Amino acid sequence: MSDVLALRGAPIAETVRAGIADDVGRLKASGLEPRMAVVVASNDPATISYAEAKGRTAAKLGVALDVVTVDPAQGQAALEGVIAELSADANVQGILLDLPVGEGLQAEPAIDRIDPLKDVDGLTSVNLGLIALGREAEAIAPATPDACIRLAEETGSLSGRRVTVVGRGRSVGRALAPMLINRDATVTVCHSKTPDLTAAIAPADVVFVAAGRPGLITEAHIRPGQVVIDAGINMVDGRLVGDVAPAVAEVASAITPVPGGVGPLTSSLIFANLVRAIALQRQGS
């Protein structure tokens, strides 16, 4: 096996959580009890597992977290109604819709019912628009793309590097590409209409994968020396797996494991976003 560098999220997450715990302590001392609502509108095991993980992190940080479930059978109006109520609730400072949503539901209109100042996953049109305009400092940055970038930066600055993003979904790819551009990377985006995935990936120094298809990227797609960031979360035969096949670790110079890579850091950054959201709400931004 090659001497691949395993880019694990836990060490960075530990540092992030220490800062959050201090912030939460100060907020409580000022009389504010930080509270987040996680809306789950799916029966998908991976989505449910992800929500449970956030609950465990919240407990450690002293943040109140409510998991609000919506049966997909109740329909789009019910989902959007729940989110609208949470947006109007002064006792809730952060809202997150866990993705994917169940069959028959549409995530995008539901996400845009979230108050942008409570959007701890950074996926509303307002926050994505600010990022696309290069005004990332004014936005709440999407947690998963932020985690991907921080892990990639463990191998060096992204400025001037060639990167390929595989996937263009709202939860990762749509935000990740402009965030990488904001860091002066040269970006190629691949998706289901890309005719030759291997050729598109070949020039990249760093490959980000967020397609939602287990094992999509194999060792045949990757050349020696590339850094691979796997943001995939899939449940296969009761196991959590990524979008990158295990054999890629035999070729890449560095790779994020699944589980243990992007996920743990994402969970912590969501709570960092909660602290930022509270600051923005107090400013009335």
94 forms beta bridges with 36
pLDDT digits (tens, 9 = 90+) for 198-252: 999 999 999 999 998 999 999 999 999 999 999 998 878 888 899 999 999 999 9
The packing angle between helices 10-29 and 45-61, to 10°, is 50
Q: Is the dihedral of CA 276, 270, 157, 202 positive or negative?
A: negative
- Cα separation, 164 vs 276, whole angstroms: 29
- Is the Cβ–Cβ distance between 70 and 39 less than 8 Å? yes
Domain map (residue ranges) of the chain: 143-263
**How many residues can be counted in the chain?**
285
Least Cα distance to 208 among 149, 131, 268 occurs for 149
285 has pLDDT over 80: no
Rounded alpha-carbon distances, angstroms, from residue 6 to 27, 220, 231, 262: 36, 20, 14, 11
- With cut-offs at 50, 70 and 90, classify the pLDDT of residue 53: confident
| The domain made up of 143-263 is a member of CATH 3.40.50.720 | yes
Q: What span, in angstroms and rounded, lies between the C-alpha atoms of 263 and 49?
A: 11
pLDDT band at 86 (very low <50, low <70, confident <90, very high): very high
Q: What is the pLDDT of residues 164-195, one digit of tens each?
A: 999 998 889 999 999 999 999 999 999 889 99
The angle at the Cα of 27, spanning 264 to 122, to the nearest 5 degrees, equals 45
pLDDT higher than threshold 90 for residue 8:
yes
- pLDDT digits over 99-154, tens only? 889 999 999 999 999 999 999 999 999 999 999 999 999 999 999 999 999 999 99
Query: Burial letters for 97-111: b for 16+ Cβ neighbours within 10 Å, e otherwise?
Result: bbbbbbeebebeebb
pLDDT score for 1: 41
Q: Alpha-carbon distance 70 to 126, whole Å?
A: 25
